A and B are shown apart, each in its own frame.
Chain A
Protein backbone atom coordinates (compact mmCIF):
# COMPACT_ATOMS: atom_id res chain seq x y z
CA UNK A 1 0.00 0.00 0.00
CA UNK A 2 1.41 3.32 -1.05
CA UNK A 3 1.23 6.00 1.57
CA UNK A 4 0.33 9.39 0.12
CA UNK A 5 0.37 12.60 2.11
CA UNK A 6 -3.47 12.75 2.28
CA UNK A 7 -3.63 9.23 3.59
CA UNK A 8 -0.86 10.00 6.04
CA UNK A 9 -2.77 13.03 7.36
CA UNK A 10 -5.92 10.90 7.70
CA UNK A 11 -3.89 8.25 9.52
CA UNK A 12 -2.52 10.92 11.85
CA UNK A 13 -6.04 12.11 12.71
CA UNK A 14 -7.15 8.52 13.22
CA UNK A 15 -4.21 7.79 15.53
CA UNK A 16 -4.97 10.95 17.50
CA UNK A 17 -8.57 9.79 17.90
CA UNK A 18 -7.59 6.30 19.02
CA UNK A 19 -5.12 7.88 21.43
CA UNK A 20 -7.86 10.04 22.94
CA UNK A 21 -10.30 7.12 23.09
CA UNK A 22 -7.71 4.90 24.80
CA UNK A 23 -7.02 7.54 27.44
CA UNK A 24 -10.73 8.21 27.92
CA UNK A 25 -11.57 4.53 28.26
CA UNK A 26 -8.71 4.06 30.72
CA UNK A 27 -9.88 7.05 32.78
CA UNK A 28 -13.44 5.80 32.88
CA UNK A 29 -12.26 2.25 33.64
CA UNK A 30 -11.12 3.59 37.03
CA UNK A 31 -14.68 4.85 37.55
CA UNK A 32 -16.08 1.58 36.18
CA UNK A 33 -13.86 -0.41 38.52
CA UNK A 34 -15.32 1.41 41.54
CA UNK A 35 -18.87 1.10 40.29
CA UNK A 36 -18.45 -2.64 39.63
CA UNK A 37 -16.78 -3.11 43.01
CA UNK A 38 -19.57 -1.21 44.74
CA UNK A 39 -22.20 -3.22 42.90
CA UNK A 40 -20.59 -6.55 43.77
CA UNK A 41 -20.17 -5.59 47.42
CA UNK A 42 -23.62 -4.05 47.67
CA UNK A 43 -22.35 -0.52 48.30
CA UNK A 44 -23.23 2.81 46.69
CA UNK A 45 -19.81 3.61 45.22
CA UNK A 46 -18.72 7.04 43.95
CA UNK A 47 -21.73 9.39 43.80
CA UNK A 48 -20.47 12.84 44.85
CA UNK A 49 -18.68 14.30 41.80
CA UNK A 50 -21.48 15.11 39.39
CA UNK A 51 -24.59 12.98 38.73
CA UNK A 52 -23.80 9.32 39.62
CA UNK A 53 -20.23 10.46 40.26
CA UNK A 54 -19.34 10.56 36.57
CA UNK A 55 -16.78 13.34 37.12
CA UNK A 56 -14.85 11.15 39.55
CA UNK A 57 -11.99 10.45 37.09
CA UNK A 58 -11.52 14.20 36.58
CA UNK A 59 -11.40 14.76 40.33
CA UNK A 60 -8.88 11.93 40.64
CA UNK A 61 -6.73 13.43 37.90
CA UNK A 62 -6.72 16.86 39.56
CA UNK A 63 -5.79 15.25 42.87
CA UNK A 64 -2.96 13.29 41.25
CA UNK A 65 -1.57 16.43 39.63
CA UNK A 66 -1.68 18.50 42.82
CA UNK A 67 0.17 15.91 44.95
CA UNK A 68 3.81 16.35 45.84
CA UNK A 69 6.18 14.89 43.26
CA UNK A 70 8.18 12.95 45.86
CA UNK A 71 11.60 11.49 45.12
CA UNK A 72 13.32 9.53 47.92
CA UNK A 73 16.80 10.74 48.88
CA UNK A 74 18.47 7.38 48.31
CA UNK A 75 16.90 6.56 44.98
CA UNK A 76 18.55 6.68 41.57
CA UNK A 77 16.85 9.90 40.60
CA UNK A 78 16.77 9.74 36.81
CA UNK A 79 15.77 6.10 36.64
CA UNK A 80 13.09 6.84 39.22
CA UNK A 81 11.60 9.51 36.96
CA UNK A 82 12.14 7.81 33.60
CA UNK A 83 10.74 4.36 34.24
CA UNK A 84 7.12 5.16 35.06
CA UNK A 85 7.21 7.12 31.80
CA UNK A 86 8.46 4.04 29.95
CA UNK A 87 5.65 2.00 31.48
CA UNK A 88 3.13 4.51 30.17
CA UNK A 89 4.83 4.75 26.77
CA UNK A 90 4.71 1.00 26.19
CA UNK A 91 1.05 0.92 27.26
CA UNK A 92 0.19 3.66 24.77
CA UNK A 93 2.08 2.08 21.85
CA UNK A 94 0.51 -1.40 21.98
CA UNK A 95 -2.75 -0.35 20.37
CA UNK A 96 -1.03 0.55 17.07
CA UNK A 97 -1.53 -2.84 15.41
CA UNK A 98 -5.06 -3.53 16.67
CA UNK A 99 -7.50 -3.17 13.76
CA UNK A 100 -10.32 -1.07 15.20
CA UNK A 101 -12.42 -1.26 12.05
CA UNK A 102 -12.68 -2.08 8.38
CA UNK A 103 -11.74 0.21 5.49
CA UNK A 104 -13.16 3.73 5.53
CA UNK A 105 -13.90 5.41 2.18
CA UNK A 106 -12.52 8.94 2.36
CA UNK A 107 -13.69 9.91 -1.12
CA UNK A 108 -11.48 10.52 -4.14
CA UNK A 109 -10.59 6.85 -4.35
CA UNK A 110 -8.72 6.89 -1.04
CA UNK A 111 -9.48 4.10 1.37
CA UNK A 112 -8.04 3.98 4.85
CA UNK A 113 -7.76 1.01 7.19
CA UNK A 114 -8.96 1.83 10.68
CA UNK A 115 -5.68 0.52 12.07
CA UNK A 116 -2.52 2.37 13.14
CA UNK A 117 -0.02 0.23 11.26
CA UNK A 118 -0.79 -2.89 9.25
CA UNK A 119 2.58 -4.59 9.21
CA UNK A 120 3.92 -8.00 8.38
CA UNK A 121 4.87 -8.81 11.98
CA UNK A 122 1.46 -7.67 13.22
CA UNK A 123 0.69 -9.47 16.46
CA UNK A 124 4.39 -9.81 17.31
CA UNK A 125 4.47 -6.02 17.69
CA UNK A 126 2.25 -6.45 20.74
CA UNK A 127 4.62 -9.05 22.17
CA UNK A 128 7.67 -6.90 21.52
CA UNK A 129 6.12 -3.94 23.32
CA UNK A 130 4.90 -6.12 26.18
CA UNK A 131 8.38 -7.56 26.67
CA UNK A 132 9.67 -3.99 26.82
CA UNK A 133 7.03 -3.17 29.42
CA UNK A 134 8.67 -5.57 31.91
CA UNK A 135 11.38 -2.96 32.44
CA UNK A 136 8.93 -0.25 33.49
CA UNK A 137 8.14 -2.21 36.65
CA UNK A 138 11.46 -4.00 37.17
CA UNK A 139 13.64 -0.91 37.03
CA UNK A 140 11.04 1.44 38.49
CA UNK A 141 10.90 -0.70 41.61
CA UNK A 142 14.66 -1.14 41.75
CA UNK A 143 15.33 2.57 41.37
CA UNK A 144 13.26 3.55 44.42
CA UNK A 145 15.77 1.72 46.67
CA UNK A 146 13.02 0.39 48.89
CA UNK A 147 13.03 -3.27 49.96
CA UNK A 148 9.32 -3.72 49.32
CA UNK A 149 9.63 -2.13 45.89
CA UNK A 150 12.56 -4.37 45.04
CA UNK A 151 10.63 -7.51 45.99
CA UNK A 152 7.57 -6.36 44.07
CA UNK A 153 9.63 -5.45 41.02
CA UNK A 154 11.44 -8.79 40.86
CA UNK A 155 8.22 -10.69 41.39
CA UNK A 156 6.58 -8.70 38.62
CA UNK A 157 9.44 -9.24 36.18
CA UNK A 158 9.61 -12.98 36.68
CA UNK A 159 5.85 -13.35 36.61
CA UNK A 160 5.62 -11.40 33.36
CA UNK A 161 8.34 -13.31 31.58
CA UNK A 162 6.93 -16.66 32.75
CA UNK A 163 3.45 -15.96 31.42
CA UNK A 164 4.77 -14.44 28.20
CA UNK A 165 5.86 -17.93 27.15
CA UNK A 166 2.44 -19.54 27.42
CA UNK A 167 0.92 -16.48 25.75
CA UNK A 168 3.33 -16.79 22.81
CA UNK A 169 2.55 -20.49 22.47
CA UNK A 170 -1.21 -19.92 22.49
CA UNK A 171 -0.80 -17.36 19.68
CA UNK A 172 1.05 -19.93 17.57
CA UNK A 173 -2.08 -22.07 17.31
CA UNK A 174 -3.95 -19.05 15.88
CA UNK A 175 -1.13 -18.39 13.40
CA UNK A 176 -1.25 -21.98 12.18
CA UNK A 177 -4.90 -21.50 11.26
CA UNK A 178 -4.61 -18.08 9.62
CA UNK A 179 -1.14 -18.35 8.10
CA UNK A 180 -0.27 -14.74 8.73
CA UNK A 181 1.05 -12.61 11.56
CA UNK A 182 -0.93 -9.59 10.38
CA UNK A 183 -3.81 -8.76 12.73
CA UNK A 184 -5.85 -7.52 9.77
CA UNK A 185 -5.59 -10.90 8.04
CA UNK A 186 -6.42 -12.68 11.31
CA UNK A 187 -9.67 -10.72 11.48
CA UNK A 188 -10.46 -11.21 7.79
CA UNK A 189 -10.12 -15.00 7.98
CA UNK A 190 -12.70 -14.96 10.77
CA UNK A 191 -15.11 -12.90 8.67
CA UNK A 192 -15.95 -15.31 5.90
CA UNK A 193 -18.53 -17.97 6.58
CA UNK A 194 -21.45 -18.07 8.93
CA UNK A 195 -21.35 -14.91 11.05
CA UNK A 196 -19.96 -15.44 14.51
CA UNK A 197 -19.70 -19.20 13.92
CA UNK A 198 -16.43 -18.64 12.05
CA UNK A 199 -14.75 -16.83 14.95
CA UNK A 200 -11.59 -18.46 16.25
CA UNK A 201 -13.04 -19.14 19.69
CA UNK A 202 -14.89 -22.16 18.28
CA UNK A 203 -11.72 -23.86 17.10
CA UNK A 204 -9.41 -22.55 19.83
CA UNK A 205 -11.16 -23.04 23.19
CA UNK A 206 -8.00 -24.18 25.03
CA UNK A 207 -5.91 -21.44 23.42
CA UNK A 208 -8.36 -18.76 24.52
CA UNK A 209 -8.40 -19.93 28.14
CA UNK A 210 -4.58 -19.89 28.21
CA UNK A 211 -4.49 -16.47 26.58
CA UNK A 212 -6.94 -14.85 28.98
CA UNK A 213 -5.13 -16.29 32.03
CA UNK A 214 -1.84 -14.93 30.67
CA UNK A 215 -3.45 -11.58 29.94
CA UNK A 216 -4.47 -11.33 33.59
CA UNK A 217 -0.93 -12.15 34.64
CA UNK A 218 0.64 -9.69 32.19
CA UNK A 219 -1.61 -6.86 33.39
CA UNK A 220 -0.77 -7.73 37.03
CA UNK A 221 -4.47 -8.01 37.83
CA UNK A 222 -6.04 -10.13 40.56
CA UNK A 223 -5.55 -13.10 41.04
CA UNK A 224 -2.03 -12.38 39.77
CA UNK A 225 -1.43 -9.03 41.48
CA UNK A 226 1.44 -10.24 43.66
CA UNK A 227 3.79 -7.42 42.58
CA UNK A 228 1.57 -4.93 44.41
CA UNK A 229 0.12 -7.22 47.02
CA UNK A 230 -0.79 -4.84 49.88
CA UNK A 231 -0.80 -7.37 52.68
CA UNK A 232 2.81 -8.37 52.10
CA UNK A 233 4.51 -5.57 50.20
CA UNK A 234 2.61 -2.37 51.09
CA UNK A 235 2.37 -0.97 47.56
CA UNK A 236 4.84 -3.31 45.87
CA UNK A 237 6.86 -1.74 43.10
CA UNK A 238 5.08 1.62 43.40
CA UNK A 239 5.43 2.07 47.17
CA UNK A 240 7.64 5.16 46.78
CA UNK A 241 5.79 6.71 43.87
CA UNK A 242 3.44 9.62 44.22
CA UNK A 243 1.60 12.20 42.08
CA UNK A 244 1.42 11.46 38.35
CA UNK A 245 4.33 9.01 38.48
CA UNK A 246 2.07 6.75 40.50
CA UNK A 247 -0.73 7.83 38.18
CA UNK A 248 1.26 6.54 35.20
CA UNK A 249 1.68 3.11 36.75
CA UNK A 250 -2.01 2.82 37.62
CA UNK A 251 -3.13 4.34 34.33
CA UNK A 252 -0.92 2.07 32.25
CA UNK A 253 -2.55 -0.91 33.99
CA UNK A 254 -5.98 0.25 32.84
CA UNK A 255 -4.75 0.97 29.31
CA UNK A 256 -3.20 -2.50 29.20
CA UNK A 257 -6.51 -4.00 30.29
CA UNK A 258 -8.36 -2.23 27.51
CA UNK A 259 -5.77 -3.07 24.86
CA UNK A 260 -5.55 -6.71 25.92
CA UNK A 261 -9.34 -6.85 25.72
CA UNK A 262 -9.14 -5.50 22.18
CA UNK A 263 -6.39 -7.99 21.30
CA UNK A 264 -8.44 -10.89 22.68
CA UNK A 265 -11.44 -9.72 20.68
CA UNK A 266 -9.25 -9.50 17.57
CA UNK A 267 -7.69 -12.93 17.97
CA UNK A 268 -10.61 -15.00 19.20
CA UNK A 269 -13.86 -13.06 18.75
CA UNK A 270 -13.63 -11.82 15.18
CA UNK A 271 -12.34 -8.31 15.94
CA UNK A 272 -14.58 -5.74 14.30
CA UNK A 273 -16.72 -8.48 12.76
CA UNK A 274 -20.38 -8.63 13.80
CA UNK A 275 -23.34 -10.75 12.65
CA UNK A 276 -25.10 -9.55 9.46
CA UNK A 277 -22.39 -7.03 8.58
CA UNK A 278 -22.95 -7.75 4.86
CA UNK A 279 -26.59 -6.68 5.27
CA UNK A 280 -25.58 -3.45 7.01
CA UNK A 281 -22.99 -2.74 4.32
CA UNK A 282 -25.55 -3.29 1.54
CA UNK A 283 -28.15 -1.11 3.27
CA UNK A 284 -26.16 1.80 4.65
CA UNK A 285 -22.87 1.74 2.76
CA UNK A 286 -19.26 0.96 3.58
CA UNK A 287 -18.55 3.77 6.04
CA UNK A 288 -21.51 3.11 8.33
CA UNK A 289 -20.72 -0.62 8.31
CA UNK A 290 -17.11 0.13 9.26
CA UNK A 291 -18.18 2.44 12.09
CA UNK A 292 -20.60 -0.18 13.45
CA UNK A 293 -17.63 -2.54 13.33
CA UNK A 294 -15.63 -0.10 15.47
CA UNK A 295 -18.54 -0.12 17.91
CA UNK A 296 -18.59 -3.94 17.91
CA UNK A 297 -14.88 -4.14 18.71
CA UNK A 298 -15.22 -1.52 21.46
CA UNK A 299 -18.13 -3.47 22.94
CA UNK A 300 -16.12 -6.71 22.97
CA UNK A 301 -13.07 -4.97 24.45
CA UNK A 302 -15.13 -3.27 27.17
CA UNK A 303 -16.77 -6.59 28.01
CA UNK A 304 -13.30 -8.03 28.67
CA UNK A 305 -12.47 -4.98 30.81
CA UNK A 306 -15.60 -5.83 32.80
CA UNK A 307 -14.41 -9.45 33.11
CA UNK A 308 -11.11 -8.17 34.52
CA UNK A 309 -13.04 -6.26 37.20
CA UNK A 310 -15.45 -9.10 37.85
CA UNK A 311 -12.63 -11.57 38.48
CA UNK A 312 -10.96 -9.11 40.86
CA UNK A 313 -13.86 -9.44 43.31
CA UNK A 314 -14.37 -13.16 42.71
CA UNK A 315 -11.00 -14.85 43.08
CA UNK A 316 -8.46 -14.50 45.89
CA UNK A 317 -4.79 -13.86 45.18
CA UNK A 318 -2.41 -16.73 44.40
CA UNK A 319 0.60 -17.55 46.51
CA UNK A 320 3.87 -16.98 44.67
CA UNK A 321 4.78 -20.68 44.37
CA UNK A 322 1.26 -21.45 43.12
CA UNK A 323 1.63 -18.71 40.54
CA UNK A 324 4.95 -20.02 39.26
CA UNK A 325 3.74 -23.63 39.27
CA UNK A 326 0.65 -22.69 37.29
CA UNK A 327 2.75 -20.79 34.74
CA UNK A 328 5.53 -23.29 34.23
CA UNK A 329 4.16 -26.75 34.95
CA UNK A 330 0.57 -25.96 34.03
CA UNK A 331 0.12 -23.49 31.21
CA UNK A 332 3.30 -24.16 29.21
CA UNK A 333 2.78 -27.94 28.76
CA UNK A 334 -0.94 -27.39 28.05
CA UNK A 335 -0.22 -24.73 25.44
CA UNK A 336 2.37 -27.02 23.81
CA UNK A 337 -0.30 -29.72 23.68
CA UNK A 338 -2.65 -27.16 22.16
CA UNK A 339 -0.17 -26.38 19.39
CA UNK A 340 0.25 -30.06 18.51
CA UNK A 341 -3.49 -30.74 18.69
CA UNK A 342 -4.31 -27.74 16.53
CA UNK A 343 -1.83 -29.06 13.99
CA UNK A 344 -3.66 -32.40 13.96
CA UNK A 345 -7.07 -30.74 13.72
CA UNK A 346 -5.93 -28.89 10.59
CA UNK A 347 -4.00 -31.73 8.94
CA UNK A 348 -6.34 -34.67 9.55
CA UNK A 349 -9.38 -33.20 7.72
CA UNK A 350 -7.27 -32.06 4.74
CA UNK A 351 -5.48 -35.41 4.30
CA UNK A 352 -8.62 -37.52 4.55
CA UNK A 353 -10.85 -35.04 2.67
CA UNK A 354 -13.24 -34.62 5.58
CA UNK A 355 -15.75 -31.75 5.65
CA UNK A 356 -14.86 -28.48 7.38
CA UNK A 357 -16.75 -29.15 10.61
CA UNK A 358 -14.48 -32.17 11.25
CA UNK A 359 -11.66 -29.85 12.25
CA UNK A 360 -13.85 -28.24 14.92
CA UNK A 361 -14.82 -31.69 16.21
CA UNK A 362 -11.14 -32.65 16.42
CA UNK A 363 -10.20 -29.43 18.20
CA UNK A 364 -12.96 -29.78 20.82
CA UNK A 365 -12.05 -33.42 21.38
CA UNK A 366 -8.68 -31.99 22.42
CA UNK A 367 -10.31 -30.78 25.64
CA UNK A 368 -11.38 -34.35 26.41
CA UNK A 369 -7.90 -35.74 25.70
CA UNK A 370 -6.37 -33.01 27.85
CA UNK A 371 -8.72 -33.72 30.75
CA UNK A 372 -8.06 -37.49 30.60
CA UNK A 373 -4.32 -36.79 30.49
CA UNK A 374 -4.56 -34.47 33.49
CA UNK A 375 -6.60 -36.99 35.49
CA UNK A 376 -4.12 -39.79 34.77
CA UNK A 377 -1.20 -37.48 35.63
CA UNK A 378 -2.90 -36.34 38.82
CA UNK A 379 -3.69 -39.93 39.81
CA UNK A 380 -0.06 -40.97 39.26
CA UNK A 381 1.39 -38.08 41.27
CA UNK A 382 -1.08 -38.30 44.17
CA UNK A 383 -0.47 -42.06 44.48
CA UNK A 384 3.25 -41.34 44.71
CA UNK A 385 2.57 -38.79 47.44
CA UNK A 386 0.52 -41.22 49.55
CA UNK A 387 3.24 -43.88 49.16
CA UNK A 388 5.81 -41.35 50.28
CA UNK A 389 3.68 -40.48 53.29
CA UNK A 390 3.22 -44.14 54.24
CA UNK A 391 6.96 -44.79 54.41
Chain B
Protein backbone atom coordinates (compact mmCIF):
# COMPACT_ATOMS: atom_id res chain seq x y z
CA UNK B 1 0.00 0.00 0.00
CA UNK B 2 2.58 2.57 1.10
CA UNK B 3 4.80 1.51 -1.79
CA UNK B 4 1.96 2.22 -4.21
CA UNK B 5 1.30 5.68 -2.75
CA UNK B 6 5.02 6.40 -2.74
CA UNK B 7 5.39 5.34 -6.38
CA UNK B 8 2.36 7.43 -7.34
CA UNK B 9 3.80 10.58 -5.75
CA UNK B 10 7.28 9.87 -7.10
CA UNK B 11 5.94 9.40 -10.65
CA UNK B 12 3.86 12.56 -10.30
CA UNK B 13 6.89 14.65 -9.34
CA UNK B 14 9.22 13.14 -11.95
CA UNK B 15 6.76 13.38 -14.84
CA UNK B 16 5.75 16.94 -14.01
CA UNK B 17 9.41 17.90 -13.58
CA UNK B 18 10.04 16.51 -17.08
CA UNK B 19 7.16 18.63 -18.40
CA UNK B 20 8.81 21.68 -16.82
CA UNK B 21 11.98 20.85 -18.74
CA UNK B 22 10.46 19.96 -22.09
CA UNK B 23 7.57 22.38 -22.61
CA UNK B 24 8.09 25.61 -24.53
CA UNK B 25 5.21 27.37 -22.85
CA UNK B 26 6.44 29.24 -19.78
CA UNK B 27 3.14 29.16 -17.94
CA UNK B 28 2.59 25.46 -18.51
CA UNK B 29 6.07 24.99 -17.09
CA UNK B 30 5.08 27.03 -14.03
CA UNK B 31 1.95 24.94 -13.48
CA UNK B 32 3.75 21.64 -13.81
CA UNK B 33 6.22 23.01 -11.28
CA UNK B 34 3.20 23.39 -8.99
CA UNK B 35 2.43 19.69 -9.45
CA UNK B 36 6.10 18.83 -8.81
CA UNK B 37 6.04 20.71 -5.52
CA UNK B 38 2.81 18.99 -4.50
CA UNK B 39 4.30 15.59 -5.31
CA UNK B 40 7.39 16.43 -3.25
CA UNK B 41 5.19 17.51 -0.32
CA UNK B 42 3.38 14.18 -0.57
CA UNK B 43 6.71 12.33 -0.50
CA UNK B 44 7.78 14.24 2.61
CA UNK B 45 4.54 13.28 4.35
CA UNK B 46 5.02 9.61 3.47
CA UNK B 47 8.48 9.49 5.02
CA UNK B 48 7.10 11.04 8.21
CA UNK B 49 8.35 14.62 7.72
CA UNK B 50 4.95 16.25 7.60
CA UNK B 51 6.11 19.64 8.84
CA UNK B 52 8.63 19.78 6.01
CA UNK B 53 5.83 18.86 3.60
CA UNK B 54 3.59 21.68 4.73
CA UNK B 55 6.51 24.12 4.85
CA UNK B 56 7.22 23.14 1.25
CA UNK B 57 3.63 23.96 0.30
CA UNK B 58 3.58 27.23 2.26
CA UNK B 59 6.89 28.59 1.02
CA UNK B 60 7.30 27.14 -2.46
CA UNK B 61 3.71 26.91 -3.69
CA UNK B 62 2.30 29.78 -1.66
CA UNK B 63 5.21 32.15 -2.19
CA UNK B 64 7.91 31.35 -4.70
CA UNK B 65 5.65 30.05 -7.46
CA UNK B 66 3.35 33.09 -7.16
CA UNK B 67 6.52 35.17 -7.49
CA UNK B 68 7.48 33.22 -10.61
CA UNK B 69 4.06 33.65 -12.19
CA UNK B 70 4.05 37.37 -11.38
CA UNK B 71 7.52 37.51 -12.92
CA UNK B 72 6.25 35.89 -16.12
CA UNK B 73 3.31 38.28 -16.22
CA UNK B 74 5.57 41.24 -15.52
CA UNK B 75 7.88 40.68 -18.45
CA UNK B 76 7.15 42.33 -21.73
CA UNK B 77 5.81 39.55 -23.88
CA UNK B 78 5.73 41.34 -27.22
CA UNK B 79 7.26 39.33 -30.04
CA UNK B 80 7.19 36.02 -28.24
CA UNK B 81 3.49 35.39 -28.75
CA UNK B 82 2.33 32.57 -30.95
CA UNK B 83 -0.61 33.25 -33.23
CA UNK B 84 -4.10 33.19 -31.81
CA UNK B 85 -3.75 31.48 -28.44
CA UNK B 86 -1.53 34.08 -26.80
CA UNK B 87 0.74 31.64 -25.07
CA UNK B 88 4.15 32.75 -23.90
CA UNK B 89 6.78 30.65 -25.60
CA UNK B 90 10.51 30.32 -25.11
CA UNK B 91 13.17 28.65 -27.19
CA UNK B 92 15.73 26.19 -26.02
CA UNK B 93 19.16 27.74 -26.33
CA UNK B 94 22.57 26.95 -24.86
CA UNK B 95 21.96 23.21 -24.63
CA UNK B 96 25.62 22.34 -24.10
CA UNK B 97 26.04 24.73 -21.17
CA UNK B 98 22.74 23.48 -19.77
CA UNK B 99 23.95 19.89 -19.88
CA UNK B 100 27.21 20.82 -18.15
CA UNK B 101 25.33 22.69 -15.39
CA UNK B 102 22.91 19.79 -14.99
CA UNK B 103 25.74 17.27 -14.68
CA UNK B 104 27.52 19.48 -12.14
CA UNK B 105 24.32 19.86 -10.13
CA UNK B 106 23.73 16.11 -10.21
CA UNK B 107 27.27 15.46 -9.00
CA UNK B 108 26.89 17.96 -6.15
CA UNK B 109 23.53 16.57 -5.03
CA UNK B 110 24.80 12.99 -5.28
CA UNK B 111 27.81 13.90 -3.14
CA UNK B 112 25.59 15.54 -0.50
CA UNK B 113 23.02 12.75 -0.41
CA UNK B 114 25.64 9.99 -0.20
CA UNK B 115 26.98 11.70 2.94
CA UNK B 116 23.57 11.73 4.61
CA UNK B 117 22.36 9.16 7.10
CA UNK B 118 18.76 8.37 6.30
CA UNK B 119 16.54 6.72 8.88
CA UNK B 120 14.73 3.64 7.68
CA UNK B 121 11.29 4.39 6.28
CA UNK B 122 8.43 2.69 8.06
CA UNK B 123 7.92 -0.77 6.65
CA UNK B 124 4.16 -0.76 6.93
CA UNK B 125 1.70 2.08 7.04
CA UNK B 126 -0.71 0.26 9.32
CA UNK B 127 1.55 -0.80 12.18
CA UNK B 128 1.52 1.47 15.19
CA UNK B 129 5.19 2.44 15.28
CA UNK B 130 6.02 5.43 17.44
CA UNK B 131 7.08 8.37 15.37
CA UNK B 132 8.22 11.53 17.07
CA UNK B 133 6.13 14.57 16.25
CA UNK B 134 8.49 16.27 13.83
CA UNK B 135 7.46 19.86 14.55
CA UNK B 136 8.38 19.56 18.23
CA UNK B 137 11.76 17.99 17.44
CA UNK B 138 12.59 20.61 14.82
CA UNK B 139 11.67 23.41 17.23
CA UNK B 140 13.80 22.09 20.09
CA UNK B 141 16.80 21.43 17.85
CA UNK B 142 16.49 24.81 16.13
CA UNK B 143 16.40 26.71 19.40
CA UNK B 144 19.15 24.84 21.24
CA UNK B 145 21.77 23.14 19.02
CA UNK B 146 21.29 25.18 15.85
CA UNK B 147 20.68 28.60 17.28
CA UNK B 148 23.58 30.26 15.44
CA UNK B 149 22.49 29.09 11.94
CA UNK B 150 18.97 30.16 12.89
CA UNK B 151 20.01 33.72 13.76
CA UNK B 152 22.29 33.87 10.72
CA UNK B 153 19.32 32.98 8.54
CA UNK B 154 17.49 35.88 10.19
CA UNK B 155 20.32 38.21 9.13
CA UNK B 156 20.18 36.70 5.64
CA UNK B 157 16.45 37.37 5.38
CA UNK B 158 17.04 40.95 6.51
CA UNK B 159 19.75 41.36 3.87
CA UNK B 160 17.31 40.09 1.24
CA UNK B 161 14.68 42.58 2.40
CA UNK B 162 17.16 45.47 2.26
CA UNK B 163 18.37 44.36 -1.15
CA UNK B 164 14.88 44.11 -2.59
CA UNK B 165 13.93 47.53 -1.25
CA UNK B 166 17.16 49.13 -2.48
CA UNK B 167 17.02 47.68 -5.99
CA UNK B 168 13.35 48.46 -6.51
CA UNK B 169 13.68 52.12 -5.56
CA UNK B 170 16.99 52.68 -7.40
CA UNK B 171 15.52 52.32 -10.87
CA UNK B 172 13.18 55.26 -10.55
Contact = CB atoms under 8 A, between A and B. Distances in A.
Interface of A: 1-3, 74, 76, 79, 119-121, 124-125, 127-128, 131-132, 134-135, 138-139, 142, 145, 154, 157, 161, 164, 181
Contacts of A154: 70, 73
Given A139-B31, A145-B86, A157 B126 contact: no
Interface of B is mostly: helix
A292 to B, nearest CB: 31
Interface of A is mostly: helix
Contacts of A120: 50-51, 133-135
B57 A128 contact: yes
Interface residues of B, number: 26
A179 to B, nearest CB: 8
A132 B66 contact: no
26 contacts: A2-B126, A74-B86, A76-B27, A76-B85, A79-B27, A120-B51, A120-B134, A121-B51, A121-B53, A121-B135, A124-B54, A127-B58, A127-B62, A128-B41, A128-B57, A131-B57, A131-B61, A132-B57, A139-B31, A139-B69, A142-B73, A145-B86, A157-B66, A157-B70, A161-B66, A181-B135
Contact of A124 (B31, B58, B70): B58
Contacts of A125: 54
Interface string B25-43: 0010001001000000100
Contacts of B70: 154, 157
Contacts of B41: 128
Q: Select the residue from A74, A119, A120 with max chain B CB neighbours within 10 A.
A: A120
Interface string B73-94: 1000000000011110000000
A134 B63 CA distance: 10
B115 to A, nearest CB: 28
Contacts of A139: 31, 69
Given A74-B86, A120-B134, A154-B73, A132 B62 contact: yes
B145 interface: no
Nearest to B34: A135
B86 A76 contact: yes
Contacts of B62: 127-128, 131-132, 134, 161, 164
B73 to A, nearest CB: 7
A132 B61 contact: yes
A79 B25 CA distance: 13
B128 interface: yes
B66 A138 contact: yes
Contacts of B135: 120-121, 181
Contacts of A164: 62
A154 B63 CA distance: 14
Nearest to A129: B57
A76 B84 CA distance: 10
A1 B84 CA distance: 56
A2 B128 contact: yes
Contact of B50 (A76, A121, A127, A138): A121
A164 B58 CA distance: 10
